[in-house]
Amino acid sequence: MSIQISYRFVVKNEKNKDGLYPIYLRAFLKGRKIETATTVAIPLRDWSLRNQRVKILNKNYEKYNMILDAIDKKSVKLLVNNFLNEEYPLTLVQFKERLIASNHTSNEESFTDYILEYLDENKVKFKAETWFGYKSQISKILKFKKRICFSDITEKFINEYRQYMLYTLGNNENTAGKSLRVLRTFVNISIRFGYIKSNPFQYISIKKVDGKRDFLSIDELNKLTDYYLKNNLLKPIDKDILGYFLFACYTGLRYSDLKTFSKDSIVNDSIHLRMHKTGYLVNIPLSTKAKMFIPDSPSNSNRVFRIYCNKVTNKVLKKTGVQLGLNKNLTCHCGRHSNYSFQLKTNELQVSIF
């Protein structure tokens, strides 16, 4: 890899509101260019095209040239660091972003504040579940340490955070691993924009172990079904949640698919739905038992179920499981596992992919 970006200072042709001409840093790469504004603006006669600096006849020439010198040095440092320490050369956009970042950041600035700001500015780029999940992970990190600077993000910090999740929060290995993968995403964002110089995850392996997947037996499913159909004292929220959980048991829909499941998705006693996770368009037979859990009362929206947040859903399901004496960790995803279990037992595959 070689240093491919070149640059020089230029005077813009248009005057600003003060009648002065702004100085920009113009970078070049393979016939393309990008410009970054500086804080320097001068009369056109005060610019030395040959030296790319402000002439001595300008009363502020020392101050302005110090600013341009500093930008010059930062640009060189960015390009050299990229050449020596990174696998791929900078693009023009990356060069500009890192140059801007270097002008208003230090290692003592808040890592978490920056990531929260980045998430808010780029919210439209993320799926809603991903965005809220990322925000939740920031809250989790801040429980470990109230203020986290860029300079704090080291291999030691990551290992201590893992230990905190496993032994203080009681997270299992997979939950801790998921949080570390999100943290790694945040670190990669910071590296991309030049806030973190070296990758602290370089020598860290994030484990993923085969966990126990709870699923319902036929008897347990029948017990829950009878409880749903015959218990008239169920709170509305409990009945709603148990209803779409049992529907998932008979159809195999994920929680994310239940949220988008609409009345238009039911065609000729089948569910025609594009899976949220995979993007596949599937056709799932709608059995008589599954139909029992579709609400009778019409809703204002086209959605079939009123879906509560995942945390509330799982809390209600666990409470229901305890009340019925089920020795299972009931979660919404347990319904999908149960459906696959039934399919395997009956050697029937109920899902067709278009």
Above pLDDT 70, what percent of the chain? 87
- Rounded to an integer, the average pLDDT of 173-197 is 89
**Per-residue model confidence as pLDDT tens digits over 25-81:** 999 999 999 999 998 999 999 999 999 999 999 999 998 998 899 899 989 988 988
**Per-residue model confidence as pLDDT tens digits over 307-341:** 888 788 888 888 888 888 877 777 776 766 555 44
| 10 neighbors 28 (Cβ within 8 angstroms) | no
In angstroms, the CA 184 to CA 268 distance is 46
The more confidently predicted of residues 224 and 64 is 64
pLDDT for 83 equals 83
Of 27-41, 149-163, 232-246, 328-342, which gets the smallest average pLDDT?
A: 328-342
pLDDT band at 354 (very low <50, low <70, confident <90, very high): very low
| 229 has a pLDDT exceeding 70 | yes
For residue 313, give Cα distances in angstroms to 51, 96, 215, 292, 321.
67, 45, 17, 20, 12
Write down the pTM of the prediction: 0.52
Report the top-level CATH class of 218-353. Answer: mainly alpha
Q: Is the CATH number of domain 111-192 1.10.150.130?
A: yes
Helix, coil or strand: residue 204: coil
pLDDT for 20 equals 93
- Rounded to an integer, the average pLDDT of 250-276 is 78
**Which residues neighbour 20 within 8 Å (Cβ) at sequence distance 6 or greater?**
41, 42, 43
- Give the residue extent of every domain in the chain: 6-103, 111-192, 218-353
pLDDT for 200 equals 94
pLDDT band at 190 (very low <50, low <70, confident <90, very high): confident
Amino acid at 284: I
pLDDT band at 343 (very low <50, low <70, confident <90, very high): very low
In angstroms, the CA 118 to CA 141 distance is 16
pLDDT for 26 equals 94
| 252 neighbors 338 (Cβ within 8 angstroms) | no
pLDDT band at 11 (very low <50, low <70, confident <90, very high): very high
